[in-house]
Amino acid sequence: MALAFVFPGQGSQAVGMGRDLADAFPAARHVFQEVDDALGQKLSKLMWEGPQEELTLTANAQPALMAHSLAVVRALESEGGFTLGGRVALVAGHSLGEYSALTAAGAFDIATAAKLLRLRGEAMQKATPPGTGAMAALLGAEIDLAQEICAAAATNPETGKKEVVEAANDNGGGQVVISGAKAAVERAIEIAKEKGVKRAMLLPVSAPFHCALMAPAADAMAEALAQATMQAPVVPVVANVTAAKASDPAEIRDLLVRQVTGTVRWRECVAAMAAMGCDKFVEVGAGKVLSGLMKRNAPEATALAIGNPAELEAFLKSLSKGPPCLI
């Protein structure tokens, strides 16, 4: 049985996240302190006490989700002698979760990851003027149909000019998120309904992530990543924009820059990990979004989530003694 660790993205944050881990495990508590120190902010207080609207701001949510995931990883290491390199065949993360995956695999230290994610959140927020971009979920649409809808919605009927509207996340199971200029996304919603898509709805987000409008944020991340200290991960990461594994730091830097404007090819990432022999997926951190999607994307595999002390202890007890598969 080959094991893959997957790390959640934005939307999984909630007030109270990680507090029980900090109470139960000194190693987890240390992670939250490291992030607080790196950011010069009591992010842990915001995570544990709220308010929710402040936690949801992308510049806070991104490092918060990484902190929760790494608190789980460090607690696994300290409580169960768990080593990622010895037990896990592949890692992957959804959007910002890719930074969590890389940090868990030793590519970044926690302080570096926290600072990169704070910058990433701020840069993504600043990339477009407020209210000019939007994102929408298409439920009951596969990626080909979503791309067809985006192509049809791109032209402004009043000006004849092309506007940005692109597939941002291919989550699998008939769930595609699109992103772009607000008017173009609204046109896409109407076209989706005409084409029989089960549900098409605007999402409550503050900016149009993972589309060409994020180019200024990609430039900011290219500069920051060029200066960031990075090691080769002890476990290969399956990258969002290629759905292929990567271990070379220079390649990973490039992939992280491309990810800001590119599609999160999550359905293909999971399929690739399954094809490489992974049949057990563990979602590490807040929420159960990815483990829920796993039932659709890799129905033959088993999936579980570790986000609190009870789940962590149950996972450690369940570990088989066999070696991971070599990929």
What is the set of active-site residues? 95, 210
Whether the CB-CB separation of 58 and 271 falls below 8 Å is answered with: no
Q: Distance between CA atoms of 216 and 256, rounded to whole angstroms?
A: 14
Q: Distance between CA atoms of 62 and 64, rounded to whole angstroms?
A: 5
CA-CA-CA-CA torsion sign (153, 121, 287, 263): positive
Give the 3-state secondary structure of residue 324: coil
Is residue 139 within a helix (H) or strand (E), and if so which, with residue range? strand 133-139
Give the 3-state secondary structure of residue 141: coil
Extract the tokens encoding 121.
């959140």
Give residues with Cβ within 8 angstroms of 81, minimum separation 6: none
With tokens 């709220």, the residue in question is: 50
Which residue type, as a one-letter code, is found at position 110? I
Give the number of C-alpha atoms closer than 13 A to the C-alpha of residue 248, restricted to the C-beta side: 5
Cα 107 vs. chain centroid, distance in angstroms?
16
